[in-house]
Structures are given as C-alpha cells and as structure tokens.
Amino acid sequence: METQIRLVDTPRIATPLPGPKAQTIIERDRAAVSPSYTRTYPLVIARGSGSMVEDVDGNVFLDCAAGIAVNSTGHSHPAVVRAIVDQAQKFLHMSGTDFYYEPQVQLAETLARIAPMRGDIRTFFGNSGTEAIEASIKLARYATGRQNVVAFLGGFHGRTLGSLSLTASKAVQRRGFGPLLPGVYHAFYPDTYRPPLGATAESCADACIDFIEHQLFTQLVAPDEVAAIVVEPIQGEGGYVVAPDAFLQRLRELATQHGIMLVVDEVQSGMGRSGRMFAIEHSGVAPDIVATAKGIASGMPLGVAMARADVMAWPPGAHASTFGGNPVSCAAALATIALLESELVANAAAVGAHLLDRLRAMAATHPLVGDVRGRGLMIGVELVRDRRTKERATQERDAVVDAAFRRGLLVLGAGKNAIRFSPPLVLTREQADVAVRIFDEALTAVERV
C-alpha cells in the first residue's frame, strides 16, 4: 500500500488509438451508459501515476487534463491513498447530517483556516461542485431574505437545475430543461481578449461593472432584491478567461454597497490550481461565500460551501446531504490540503509560470494561436483562424485536441475555441516542456491541413 505504481515519465503510444481492448470497452459503454456524457477522445484509463496515465492497451499519456482539474495531487498519490485506506478500515459512512465524526470536524477547521476571508468560518459539505453552488444559492437567499441572483455570460456552475440556471456557457447545457430557476440575470464577463460592450482590454472591467450598476440594476432588477452575485475568478468551461483584479474589486464594492452576497465559484480555480490556494486571493477580495470541489479531495467526491459564520446561520433541517462530507472523502481532502500547503501550491505557481512562458513563446510561430492566458496551472490557449478578426477556430480546436491525444498528450477544450491546460499540480518543468513539444507538433499538423 505504501508503493505507488510507477509509469514511464514520457508518453508512449504502442497501438492505434483506440486500441483493441479500449474499443471493446467503448462499445460496451455505448450500449449501457447515458449518451449525455461528452467524450472528447477514446481514452480508456487502466491506471495512473503522478501526471502520467496508461490505457487498457498499454499506451502511456502525459495528463494535462487531470480528470477535468480534479486530480490535484496527481493520480493515486501515496499519501492520499494511505489516508483513504486508513479511514476506510475504520468506517466508510455514518452521515454527518445526523451524527458526528472527527474527520468532518477536522476538515471544517482546516477549511476555516485557509478560507479566503477573515473571521469565523463555517462549512457545508456536499458531493460535487454543482451541489456546492446549490447550497450557496440557498444560503444567500436565506441570509438576505432576497430571491434574485446575478451571474455572468460564459460562466459554468453545474448542471442541476439551480446551478444550471446560473450556467451560461453552452446552449446545449440548458436546452430542453426549462423552465429554470426564476430571478436569474446574466451580466457581461470582462474578457480582455474579446472585450464586451465595445470596450477595450483596459476598460472592459469598468464597462462590465457599469453595465450591472447602470443598466441591470436600473432597468431589470432592483439591487435590494438581489441575494447574490455569483462569479468565477477565472472562468473554466467558458474558456479559461482570467477576470482582471480591478473587476473583482469593484464587484466586491458593488455587492457591499447593496447588501448582496458575493459568491465566488472556485470549483475549478480553487485548491491551489492558480498558484494560490484560491484564485480570488490574487485580487485581494474577500467573498461572503466560496464554493469549491474538484481538486479538494484528489478525486474523491466532495464539494463544499464556505461562508462567514454570521452568514451560515440557517437552522437544523434547512439544508443537508446524506453523503456530503463522507469520512473517506474528508480524509482524502485533509491529505490533499497538507500536500497543497507543503509543496503543490508553490509548484503550481512555479511550473505554471514556466508553462505559460513556453506556450506564449511557441504561440509566435503558430498563426492558429490567438491568445495564451492563465494563472498557475490553469492555462488557456485560444485558437483563431485570423488574429486580426479573431474568428474562432472551433473545428481546428477539436482537431488539435485530437492530434495531441494521438501523440500522447491529454488536453481538453474550453469554451468555443480554447484549449485548457489543467494538469495535476505535481507536474514537473520537464513534463511541462514535453507538453509544449507535443502541443507544438499537434498545432503544426493541423495548420498544414
């Protein structure tokens, strides 16, 4: 149990993709599993170690997707596995909704210590990011006595009906599921590469706040009827778009002015991915409520909503979850946070800066690359057909993702035409260089078509 299975440190493709074993499993999947899942390429994982993944046919890949930014400490980190096994041997479940157990209390205390706001902090435990957002919506409504919520175009907050009502990333995610939660209003997100509202990169932060203050709050919804503003410091599904610090600072001021809860969605950007424990810390802004999940437990299901104690003051029975805060997930989260604090947040900052520099330098030789942006190991590369017009290279983006897979690099799309680099936070500089080399080859192959 102390020994982690080691894989080779560089990609190795030994069969056509998918290989024969993978193809068999994919065919079984098609017959038995919901077709609503989006599978970008035919990877069938058999095992993983650190930043490397092996499929069922023995092909080895460098993983710069990390289970959609979930495997923060890499695949099956020995310390996390040890914590899981130790807790599983004691008890698997008791439901923190009705009983007490120390792993949940200890994790709540740890989260209170690292939360990106001051004062006494309380935590609600769920199973996923969308549950953390659902809890945040309900809590904001309860704490303010108000109903309405403001979210942002391009944002992704989950697919359950409440969080889906905030999500505004792709129409297919909402199509056929209405009516959604009433009282949700969407504002413009400050994309400095594609500034909305006729603004420039320099002025788009102010333009987006002015839209909320002088149009949304004067023409559509009174601010004293808004319970929450929900924002991602870095949009994930929307294209790895980094909000300017000035935008988040003004948003905090606007929320405070009107008694609105500022809810920060750190489901993808939190837990060290941005080179800080939470991405909101880059701006110096203290939110009222934070939702996080994904990387918090290195692959075990866990989502949390954290808030100031005076905000999270709802009574027993107001909200609960049978499996939320499962003791095994709590143990994995405690081990994960220890690794993040001791080394991996710093590694994300250092290796992320190196990867960002390398990708930006490489971009100069590829006309398909319009923009490279990000923080830490949360980096987006936006592909365009023309750098002047910024026409989105949607089909080319998909082709590059596939070409990278064929060469042993796992990346995923984000937004309409961006590619996300969200590797495990254990990624080394040498592995980052391998990722850039393969990505360079994939871009070249697609550009030649």
Q: Of 325, 357, 383, which one is at a domain's C-terminal end?
A: 325
Residues 293-334 pLDDT 10s? 999 999 999 999 999 999 999 999 999 999 999 999 999 999
Give 64-122 pLDDT, tens digit per residue.
999 999 999 999 999 999 999 999 999 999 999 999 999 999 999 999 999 999 999 99
Domain shared by 299 and 348, yes or no: no
Same domain, 68 and 124: no
Sequence-distant (≥ 6) Cβ neighbours of residue 413 within 8 angstroms: 40, 397, 398, 401, 419, 420
Say what the pLDDT of residue 8 is.
75
CATH number at residue 420: 3.90.1150.10
Q: What is the pLDDT of residues 117-126, one digit of tens each?
A: 999 999 999 9
Scanning 150-294, the segments in alpha helix (DSSP H) are: 161-166, 204-211, 245-258
Closest CA to 124 of 116, 114, 134: 134
Judge whether 298 and 272 are in contact, CB under 8 Å.
no
* Confidence (pLDDT) at 413: 97
CA distance to 27, 186, 409, 440, per residue, from 403 (Å) = 22, 36, 9, 10
How is residue 232 written in tokens? 């991602």
Q: Is residue 267 part of a domain?
A: yes
Residues 40 and 171 in one domain: no
For the cut 90, the answer to whether the pLDDT of residue 176 exceeds it is yes
Asked whether the beta carbons of 209 and 244 are under 8 A apart, the reply is no
* Residue 4 pLDDT exceeds 70: no
Give this prediction's pTM: 0.95
Residue 236 lies in a domain: yes
Q: Please check whether residues 145 and 234 belong to one and the same domain.
A: yes
Tell me how many domains the chain contains: 2
- Pair (71, 98) in one structural domain: no
Same domain, 64 and 97: no
Token output for 154: 């391009």
Among candidate residues 183, 163, 185, the one with its CA nearest the CA of residue 174: 163
Residue 336 lies in a domain: no
pLDDT surpasses 50 at 199? yes
Listing DSSP states for 15-53 in one string gives: SSSS-HHHHHHHHHHHHHS-TTS--SS---EEEEEBTEE
Same-domain status, 118 and 72: no
* CB 84 within 8 Å of CB 297: no
- Please spell the DSSP secondary structure of 379-417, one letter per residue: EEEEEEEETTTTEE-HHHHHHHHHHHHHTTEE-EEETTT
Residue 248 above 70 pLDDT?
A: yes
Residue 4 lies in a domain: no
pLDDT tier at 1 (50, 70, 90 boundaries)? very low
Q: Report the SS3 class of residue 334.
A: helix
372 and 281 in a common domain:
no
DSSP 375: E
Q: Alpha-carbon distance 252 to 179, whole Å? A: 30
pLDDT tens, position by position, 363-401: 999 999 999 999 999 999 999 999 999 999 999 999 999
Examine the fold and report which residue of 270, 298, 325 is the final residue of a domain before the chain moves on. 325
Check residue 272 and report its DSSP letter: T
Q: Does residue 124 form part of some domain?
A: yes
Residue 172: partners with Cβ closer than 8 Å, 6 or more residues away: none
Per the structure, the complete domain to which residue 407 belongs is given by 20-77+343-447
Are the C-beta atoms of residues 280 and 268 closer than 8 Å to each other?
no
How long, in residues, is the chain? 449
Contact 328, 84 (CB under 8 A): yes
Asked whether 276 and 352 are in contact (CB, 8 A), the reply is no
Tell me what percent of the residues of the chain surpass a pLDDT of 70. Answer: 99
Helix (H) or strand (E) holding 151: strand 148-152
**Residues 199, 230, 216: CA angle, nearest 5 degrees:** 50
